[in-house]
Amino acid sequence: MKPMKEGKVREVYDNGDSIIMVATDRISAFDVILKNKIVDKGTVLTQMSKFWFDYTKDIVPNHMISVDTKDMPEYFQNEEYNGKSMMCKKLEMLPIECIVRGYITGSGWASYQENGTVCGIELPDGLQESEKLPEPIYTPSTKAEIGDHDENISFERSVEVLEKEYPGKGEYYANQIKDCTLKLYKKCADYALTKGIIIADTKFEFGLDEDGNVVLADEMLTPDSSRFWPLEGYEPGKGQPSFDKQFVRDWLKANPDSDYLLPDDVIAKTIDKYKEAYEMLTGKKLGE
């Protein structure tokens, strides 16, 4: 079988009335696929998404059907795909990435220092780096093709983008995905805090089923799509250590001539961080 779609990290296979999404062990940073594989990373991403999909199905339906390869074609019933494959409903994906920020960090912090706003949203004066925002903010973006950068847009612009695709329903869908994004974030961020993890920000993607209902899709609250910080030692006023790709990004920034090839110790530390986040959030070891 050949993937019908290949992303930076995921491969999507057509399975007739469903799709099979495989999270590979590839890793990307700055919109570039790195030369290394990170063993077990795909399994962490798939199993983490499964955990959150199960946890939030009372808020919005999601696309997950099964993560058991026995439910999939024989092609997937082997070691290579075990644990990292998810059979999902077919959806028409909405052209908006739904980003929610609960803490001020990264590009949001840089923007706030410049003009007191994040993605055009005015924030109170005097916030420190990594500080918790009074309320989480919704900052959608457009979805870029591989190699291009996503573009942050206003909520109003997200209405226009959706209206162009779905005349008469742009505002309805824009409001629905915004509301779902904020509800999902609040429920999961509150839960994560009880497990010792701060979810600083994350992104969700949504699609429509055959009846036009909004359904949560893609991955959910993984170290690839989110910024996880340890609650222990959290202190506003500086950058925080993280459980995600920030470790890789920092190394790449410090080594501009690396040609996107990571040393072994950076790979080992990266997968250890991914596994640690999974175990803290789910209370289980990977593969249990």
- Considering the entire predicted model, what is its pTM? 0.93
Inter-residue contact 22 to 81 (CB < 8 Å):
yes
pLDDT at residue 122 in the model = 96
CB atoms within 10 A of CB 269: 15
Give CA separation, 119 vs 108, 136, 169, in Å.
7, 13, 24
Determine whether domain 93-230 maps to CATH 3.40.50.970: no
* DSSP 8-state symbol, 152: B
Q: What are 53-87's pLDDT values in tens digits?
A: 999 999 999 999 999 999 999 999 999 999 999 99
* pLDDT per position as a tens digit, 212-235: 999 999 999 998 899 999 999 999
In CATH terms, are 5-91+247-282 and 93-230 the same topology? no
As a whole number, mean pLDDT of residues 48-53 equals 98
Pick the CATH number of 5-91+247-282 from 3.90.420.10, 3.40.50.300, 3.40.710.10, 3.30.200.20: 3.30.200.20
pLDDT of residue 281: 97
Provide, for the chain, the percentages of residues in helix, strand and coil under a 3-state DSSP scheme, each rounded to the nearest 5: 35, 25, 40
Residue 147: its pLDDT value, please?
A: 56
Q: DSSP labels for 75-131?
A: GG-STTTTTTEEEEE--EE-SEEEEEEEE--HHHHHHHHHHSEETTEE--TTPPTTP
Amino acid code (one letter) for 137: I
Per-residue pLDDT band at 148 (split at 50, 70, 90): low
